[in-house]
Amino acid sequence: MRTVHYAVASLHYHKKIYLPYFIALVVMTVGIFFTLCLINSAQVVYHSLQDMLTNNPLNEDKNWDNALQFFFSQMKNIYLSFTLVSLVALTVLTFFFASYSFNRRQKELQTFFASGRSHFNVALQIIYEFVLPALLVVGVITCLTLVFQPFIQRICETIHTQTAQMIRTNDLTNLNNGTQFGIRLPKNYPLLIQSVFISSRDWLNVLTTTIGQTVGLLLVNFAVGLPLAILGSKIRFFRKH
């Protein structure tokens, strides 16, 4: 707990240094959270459409399942690419900011070591200085998502519909021997997405999964960015001395 107290005090003391990074952290975390929410909600829509088409007695085409799966794979790949871009951008930003912060606080860190604090204790404080604000951001996003859940749900449904229309247009443009998704399923299949009802319980599961995945990706970002920044700072320190 003392290390956490030191980390909070350090964040308050160095708030001018950390502020630009925290603003970028909020933006990138929102981007990661929202794209993961799109991926998870698209999976729910896929299973709902699968059940709806399976139980439709008028549907005589038995080849729609592969087409449906292929279509939603395309959709999720689009969302996943945005998630990966946000994660890579955040990791690079974490690396450069941590390197800059370590360089600015070099005398302070040396004072910590001279006062008898172990390298592990100081490293743990630095980790807390990055992780605690990230968890706070995720907590705020979670609360806002729960409060504005109907609005966020409508946004996700709109994006799914627009993405479906974009994929369908691309499929029809690159039609290959009449086997593309736009031919296997009704031409108005983007409207099928709008007809899918996702219950509040399903959306709660989507949000719960998204929160866990967001925290996991943020930890991956810190697990990559911080050690590289520490390694780079040590290399610069040894070169100077």
Q: What is the pLDDT of residue 27?
A: 94
Cα–Cα separations (whole angstroms), residue 199 to 76, 160, 184, 204, 213: 21, 17, 28, 9, 21
Residues 8-18: tens digit of each pLDDT: 888 888 888 88
- Total number of domains in the chain: 1
User: Which distant-in-sequence residues (6+ apart) come within 8 Å of 153 by Cβ?
Assistant: 41, 198, 203
pLDDT of residue 37 exceeding 60: yes
Q: What is the pLDDT of residue 53?
A: 67
Structural domain containing residue 28:
2-240
The per-residue pLDDT of the chain, averaged, comes to 81
State the pLDDT at residue 188: 52
CA 150 – CA 156 distance, rounded (Å): 10
DSSP string, 24-64: HHHHHHHHHHHHHHHHHHHHHHHHHHHHHHHT-TT---TTH
Give the pLDDT score at 181: 43
Per residue in 197-231, pLDDT (tens digit) is 777 788 889 999 999 999 999 999 999 998 888 88
Please report the pLDDT score of residue 195 as a whole number: 65
CA pair distance 126, 117, nearest whole angstrom? 13
**% of the chain exceeding 70 in pLDDT:** 81
Residue with tokens 């981007």: 31
| Kind plus residue range of the DSSP H or E element containing 186 | none
Q: Tell me, what's the pLDDT at 138?
A: 93
pLDDT over 60 (residue 184): no
Whether residue 178 is predicted with pLDDT greater than 60 in this model: the reply is no
Whether 167 shows a pLDDT value over 60: the answer reads yes
CB 70 within 8 A of CB 181: yes
Average of per-residue pLDDT across 98-127: 82
Helix (H, G, I), strand (E, B) or coil at 86: helix
